[in-house]
Structure 1
Amino acid sequence: MKKKMYVKTFMAGVILALVVTFVKLPYYVTMPGSAEALAPLVEVKGGYDEKGDFMLTTVRMGRANLFSYGLAHIRDYYELHPIEEIRQEGETDEEYTYRQLQMMENSKETAIAVAYKKANKPFSYKNKGVYVLSVLKDMPAFGKLKSGDQIIAVNGKKIESAEQFIRYVSEKKKGDQVHITYKREKDKKTVTLSLAPFPKEPNRVGIGISLITDREMVTDPPVKINSEKIGGPSAGLMFSLEIYNQLVPEDLTKGYKIAGTGTINLNGEVGPIGGISQKVIAAHKAGAHIFFAPNERGAKHSNYKEALKTAKEIGTDMKIVPVDTFDDALRYLRQLP
């Protein structure tokens, strides 16, 4: 009798453990990630060395199970996000991951352009193809095209960029058919789709895909960036600073550990990101002296304001520095002792 009870209790425990671990809830949970030196990830051929470090900060994120869901209610700086807040409508986990990796690729290209332009070094783009980033549910392309498909042509017209595709489709009207030639892995296929209004933009028609142009940067000197499967665009500012620092003789780090975050565009403007508090904590734990935070032109609830609040809460000596542009960061670094 006792043996049967023991077996039943053991099996119940195993089942409970499996449920707690493997049953996924309709949430993502985020938490502080890591802060790591960028120099090992960025290599400008013949570039200059630095005494300090520019650091990439990350946020850890995954689908919530019962255990992580509970932790998010009791641990500081663990946050829950409903699936629809993270993923686009109809987007799978695989498509979300692909989209994040493509956003990182675009961020790296922009960072290279900003750094080389500032250092007066030559660079150019070479288009390598147009790819589907995501497919909108209940639109014509849903179930026909998928994330990662390469768009070759529309109605026989070769497509060189995402912008070209958008211009071509925007000239058409509801009900018009388009023949999309695309490549999936090694197979070349064609699908015919009728244009339809977007659910939230009834005056605009399309097939319901977002696209990205895969570009190869041609630079002198050459540069390589290994982002180690990190996704998203939030490392743009820090990548641009690391690349620039390797391109010029002056060492902007001056021996400091400099962390930070923020998107960057081709004009060198720094944009806001998610998870700023978690990144401040990651930088603090890694021993950073300085943390660059998007200032958002002094907005009331800017990343900078939130970073300041978090820094005060955790009692760090790390200096939180507001930046709106790449040049703001350069000016601050050049006045460091």
Structure 2
Amino acid sequence: MRKKLFIGSFFLIALILIGGMYISLPYYISKPGMAKELAPIIKVENGYKEKGNFMLTTVRMGRANIYSYLEAKVKDYEEIYPAEEILNPHETEEEYNLRQLHLMDSSKLNAIETAYRKAGLEVNYKYKGIYVMQVIPDMPAAGKLKAGDRIFEVDGVKFTSSKEFIDYVGKKQAGDKVNLTYLRKDKEKTEELSIEPFKEEPKRAGIGISLVDDKEIDVDPEVKVNTAEIGGPSAGLMFSLEIYNQLTKKDFTKGYQIAGTGTIDSEGTVGPIGGIEQKIVAADKAGAEIFFAPNEQGAKDSNYRAALKTARDIKTNMKIVPIDTFDDAITYLEKMPGKKES
């Protein structure tokens, strides 16, 4: 009897422990990711080689289970965020992941434009349509469209920007119909949807999607950026530096291992990101000697100041450099002495 009771208790405890791995909590955990060399994933046609490396840095982000939650409570540089701070209202995890991948695509376009214009080369864009980022529940698009669909025609009309699409739909009245032509996994589909008022904003009507422009960049020489499943916009600055370095004969790495982070817009302005502390840890582990951090025009709570504090806490020899623009980074690299070979 005791043996049966023991075995039964053992299996019950085992089930509880295993179940804890698969029960999701309403939290997300972020922790240090990796620092990845960019030369293997960015290829400018006939681009120049470099002695050192530019590296992007990442944060590992995932839904919490019981164990990861408890681990984050006691471990340094692991952060816990309520789900509502990560997901947009009504956003599913699938839509969140697609949003992150699109933000990465946008950062690549901005980085290419910044680098090519700095190199004095022409940049052109080809508009492909509307990229659906999110479908709002209980609106006409729900159950019809999906995040990731690319709308390229409405009522037989093709547009040159998402603004034109929004303006066109915005002129419709509640009860009107629109016919959409779109691609889903390379298959063309059509759908007729009605225009209805938004539940939270009755004075505004639409089909119930959030969207962005879907476009591709045209440059010569050709450049390919293979980021696989890496998401988010925070690698923009480092992308632009790697691309520019391959476009120019001068090697701006000068033999150093250079990591960093920061969004970048088409004008070369560097913006703040989340998880700077975890990225400092990741860069230090990867052997980075220099780290570019968004300065946010010297704000007291800037990424740069948080990066400095973390660098002191982990006692790294990595030099933390404040950056507000792409040109700031280039100016620093130009003045930097070449690394002495050991």
| 1:46-65 C-alpha deviation (Å, 9 max, x unpaired) | 11111111001000011100
Matches of 1:247 and 1:265, distance apart in 2: 19
- Is 1:193–2:194 an aligned residue pair? yes
Compute the displacement of 1:143 (Å): 3.3
Contact conserved, 1:32 with 1:59, CA < 8 A, in 2?
A: yes
Compute the displacement of 1:18 (Å): 1.9
Compute the displacement of 1:70 (Å): 0.3
Moved more, 169-178 or 90-99: 169-178
Moved more, 179-188 or 112-121: 179-188
Aligned pair in 2 of structure 1 residues 40, 17: CA closer, same or farther (>3 Å)? same
Compute the displacement of 1:175 (Å): 5.3
Helix, strand or coil for the counterpart of 1:108? helix
Contact conserved, 2:174 with 2:194, CA < 8 A, in 1?
A: no
Compute the displacement of 1:220 (Å): 1.1
Matches of 1:296 and 1:203, distance apart in 2: 37
Helix, strand or coil for the counterpart of 2:103? helix
| Identity, % of aligned positions | 57
Compute the displacement of 1:320 (Å): 0.9
Structure-to-structure mapping, 1:216-227, within 5 angstroms: 216-227=216-227
Matches of 1:171 and 1:130, distance apart in 2: 18
Structure-to-structure mapping, 1:34-73, within 5 angstroms: 34-73=34-73
* Residue identity in the other structure for 1:196: P
Helix, strand or coil for the counterpart of 2:12? helix
Matches of 2:176 and 2:80, distance apart in 1: 42
| 1:26-55 C-alpha deviation (Å, 9 max, x unpaired) | 111110000011000111111111111100
Matches of 2:157 and 2:199, distance apart in 1: 24
Q: Match of 1:329?
A: 329
Aligned pair in 2 of structure 1 residues 168, 198: CA closer, same or farther (>3 Å)? farther
Matches of 2:40 and 2:58, distance apart in 1: 16
Matches of 1:33 and 1:232, distance apart in 2: 13
Matches of 2:231 and 2:51, distance apart in 1: 28
Q: Match of 2:314?
A: 314
Helix, strand or coil for the counterpart of 1:282? helix
Q: Match of 1:231?
A: 231
Q: Match of 1:4?
A: 4
- Is 1:30–2:30 an aligned residue pair? yes
Aligned pair in 2 of structure 1 residues 310, 138: CA closer, same or farther (>3 Å)? farther
Q: Match of 1:128?
A: 128
- Is 1:251–2:251 an aligned residue pair? yes
Any unmatched runs of 5+ in structure 1? none
Matches of 1:202 and 1:309, distance apart in 2: 47
Contact conserved, 2:181 with 2:188, CA < 8 A, in 1?
A: no
Contact conserved, 1:130 with 1:160, CA < 8 A, in 2?
A: no
* Residue identity in the other structure for 2:251: D
Matches of 1:220 and 1:152, distance apart in 2: 26
TM-score (norm 1): 0.94
Aligned pair in 2 of structure 1 residues 203, 297: CA closer, same or farther (>3 Å)? farther
Helix, strand or coil for the counterpart of 2:34? strand
| 1:108-157 C-alpha deviation (Å, 9 max, x unpaired) | 11111110000112332222332201123444433332201221322332
Structure-to-structure mapping, 1:241-320, within 5 angstroms: 241-320=241-320
* Residue identity in the other structure for 2:322: P
TM-score (norm 2): 0.92
Contact conserved, 2:174 with 2:205, CA < 8 A, in 1?
A: yes
Contact conserved, 1:32 with 1:278, CA < 8 A, in 2?
A: yes
Compute the displacement of 1:189 (Å): 2.1
Matches of 2:304 and 2:164, distance apart in 1: 37
Matches of 2:232 and 2:225, distance apart in 1: 15
Q: Could you say what the CA RMSD is over the residues aligned between the two structures, in angstroms?
A: 1.8
* Residue identity in the other structure for 2:27: Y
Contact conserved, 1:131 with 1:214, CA < 8 A, in 2?
A: yes
Contact conserved, 2:193 with 2:207, CA < 8 A, in 1?
A: no
Compute the displacement of 1:307 (Å): 0.9
Structure-to-structure mapping, 1:73-88, within 5 angstroms: 73-88=73-88
Matches of 1:322 and 1:78, distance apart in 2: 24
Compute the displacement of 1:94 (Å): 1.4
Helix, strand or coil for the counterpart of 1:189? strand
* Residue identity in the other structure for 1:307: A
Compute the displacement of 1:174 (Å): 5.2
Q: Match of 1:151?
A: 151
Any unmatched runs of 5+ in structure 2? 338-342
Q: Match of 2:340?
A: none
| 1:61-88 C-alpha deviation (Å, 9 max, x unpaired) | 1110000010111011111111111111
Matches of 1:319 and 1:138, distance apart in 2: 51
Contact conserved, 2:252 with 2:333, CA < 8 A, in 1?
A: yes
Matches of 2:237 and 2:127, distance apart in 1: 23
Aligned pair in 2 of structure 1 residues 187, 128: CA closer, same or farther (>3 Å)? closer
Q: Match of 1:119?
A: 119
Structure-to-structure mapping, 1:86-97, within 5 angstroms: 86-97=86-97
Matches of 1:172 and 1:129, distance apart in 2: 20
Moved more, 283-292 or 201-210: 201-210
Compute the displacement of 1:206 (Å): 3.2
